[in-house]
Amino acid sequence: MKLPTQTSHPPVTTPAANNRPLVSPIYQSVKFAYPDVAATREGLAHDGYFYSRSSNPTTRQLELSLARLQGRDDAVVCASGVGAIAQTLFSLLQQGDHVLCFGELYGPTRTLVRRTLARYGVKHTMLSIYDDADIEQVLATTPTRLVVFESPTNPVTRIADIARITAAARRHGALTLLDNTLAGPHQHGSYDIDYFLHSLTKYVSGHGDVMGGAVIANAELLAPVRRDFSLFGGTLDPHAAYLMQRGLKTYLLRYEAQTRTAQALAEAISDHPAVTCVHYPGLPQHPRHALACEQMQHFGTVVSFDLHVDAADLFTDALRLFAIAPSMGSAEALVMPPSLAGGFDLPADLQARCGMTTKTVRLSMGLEDASDLIGDVLQALHSIV
């Protein structure tokens, strides 16, 4: 072989079957080959790897890990959380379908339903996640293909009554899709949810350095979605999948630590004179604390609160340890003032019913020491009163 041929075909170093790497290697390969055409046909008939847009051993490992954590058979990952949401909605819905969704949904999800899917003739009803009677009423009177909801919601950590929503959906033949990003893939698995969605960018990555998304469901529900994902093409790169898999190893430790910090912070500011309301499901005064206790093992890492005065930007600027940034689940504590958070695209009455105000600040816990973060929030509150 001449040099260019040699450099195109480097030596292959495969460990023996009894000589495994403790950490799975990154299969940074777009293509997977068999020795001949017959073996290729045979391999493809049995879900063998061929082209990484459709499947890859590294992304597959992540899919199986996530499915197990969420208590389902299967998962498909893709390049971002919004990618997972958009691709799943386009896969499940068609012209004339009706979607029940909520004003408390993640902003881009709301926009996808209200603008993008509307262009394709998908109709929707938007309620507040606390409109329990209306949820049942809409499902009983309007044939509905899909219910899209979140719990806890972002930023005001409302808790959906999951058993009630899923029972009503089941009764009236609607599928359910829970964006479970804030609760994380270890929670809510025992509920009768058809599809779980996650932004892996948050808690699974855990380090703020890689984006990804996932949809998790039982195999028969997921098979058509997987086929469509391969056509939509928002594939997660194997290297990103490897970083997610690495993040997963510390996921539960991080989630627990950040939940402890969130609880301590929520308690520390709950009686503060500059604060009118702390939104955290772990506080007894949260309107659905009892339901949260039933549904969740951990109340989450996001604490938001309403300031007494219109000084959210001043408060935000007074913080020293919280970075002004979107997202959550990083090693660093983050803050989002309402002036940057958006979410004010809804009709005023629905916005009010969804608890969104210009005084609501969202804090997302990092891995810093809890007393340092609490001290920082208290000094920033002190500076604005």
Ligand X SMILES: *Cc1c(COP(=O)(O)O)cnc(C)c1O
Query: Taking CB under 6 A as the rule, does residue 106 contact ligand X?
Result: yes
Query: Taking CB under 6 A as the rule, does residue 337 contact ligand X?
Result: no
Least distance (Å) from ligand X to the CB of residue 335? Answer: 15
Question: What track of x and - describes contact with ligand X for positions 212 through 231 (by CB under 6 A)?
Answer: -x------------------
Of the two residues 213 and 355, which places its CB atom closer to ligand X in the complex? Answer: 213
Both tokens assigned to 103: 């004003």
Query: Taking CB under 6 A as the rule, does residue 338 contact ligand X?
Result: no
Cβ 88 vs Cβ 207: under 8 Å: no
Residues in the chain: 385
Question: What track of x and - describes contact with ligand X for positions 22 through 61 (by CB under 6 A)?
Answer: ----------------------------------------
Cβ 74 vs Cβ 216: under 8 Å: yes
Q: Using CB under 6 A, which of 65, 70, 88, 154 touches ligand X?
A: 154
Instruction: Mark residue 257 as left, alpha or beta (left: phi above 0; alpha: psi -120 to 50; beta: remaining).
Output: alpha
- Using CB under 6 A, which of the segments 76-84, 277-285, 289-297, 363-371 binds ligand X? 76-84
- With CB under 6 A as the rule, give the number of residues binding ligand X: 14
Least distance (Å) from ligand X to the CB of residue 266? Answer: 19
Q: Apex CA 286: angle with CA 284 and CA 289, to 5°?
A: 65
At 55, the amino acid letter reads S
Beta strand 98-102 with 146-150 is parallel
Which DSSP letter does residue 161 get?
A: -
Least distance (Å) from ligand X to the CB of residue 85? Answer: 6
Instruction: Mark residue 119 as left, alpha or beta (left: phi above 0; alpha: psi -120 to 50; beta: remaining).
Output: alpha
Least distance (Å) from ligand X to the CB of residue 302? Answer: 9
Both tokens assigned to 73: 């058979």
Burial class (CB in 10 A: 0-12, 13-18, 19+), 52: buried
Residue nearest to ligand X (CB): 81
Of the two residues 124 and 311, which places its CB atom closer to ligand X in the complex? Answer: 124
For tokens 């390969």, the residue is 29
Of the two residues 34 and 232, which places its CB atom closer to ligand X in the complex? Answer: 232
Of the two residues 128 and 201, which places its CB atom closer to ligand X in the complex? Answer: 201
DSSP symbols for 162-183:
HHHHHHHHHHTT-EEEEE-TTT
Which DSSP letter does residue 10 get?
A: P
- Using CB under 6 A, which of the segments 34-42, 77-85, 188-196, 281-289 binds ligand X? 77-85
Q: Using CB under 6 A, which of 201, 235, 258, 263 touches ligand X?
A: 201
Least distance (Å) from ligand X to the CB of residue 151? Answer: 10
Query: Taking CB under 6 A as the rule, does residue 63 contact ligand X?
Result: no
Least distance (Å) from ligand X to the CB of residue 106? Answer: 4
Query: Taking CB under 6 A as the rule, does residue 70 contact ligand X?
Result: no
Which DSSP letter does residue 31 get?
A: B
Least distance (Å) from ligand X to the CB of residue 153? Answer: 8
Q: For residue 76, what are the β-bridge partners?
A: 215
Query: Taking CB under 6 A as the rule, does residue 329 contact ligand X?
Result: no
Query: Taking CB under 6 A as the rule, does residue 343 contact ligand X?
Result: no
Least distance (Å) from ligand X to the CB of residue 20? Answer: 32
Burial class (CB in 10 A: 0-12, 13-18, 19+), 348: exposed
Q: How far is CA 10 from CA 3, 4, 6, 21, 104, in A?
A: 11, 11, 6, 21, 53
Query: Taking CB under 6 A as the rule, does residue 199 contact ligand X?
Result: yes
Cβ 213 vs Cβ 185: under 8 Å: no
Of the two residues 82 and 303, which places its CB atom closer to ligand X in the complex? Answer: 82
Query: What is the binding site for ligand X (CB under 6 A)?
Result: 80-82, 106, 150, 154, 179, 181-182, 199, 201-202, 211, 213
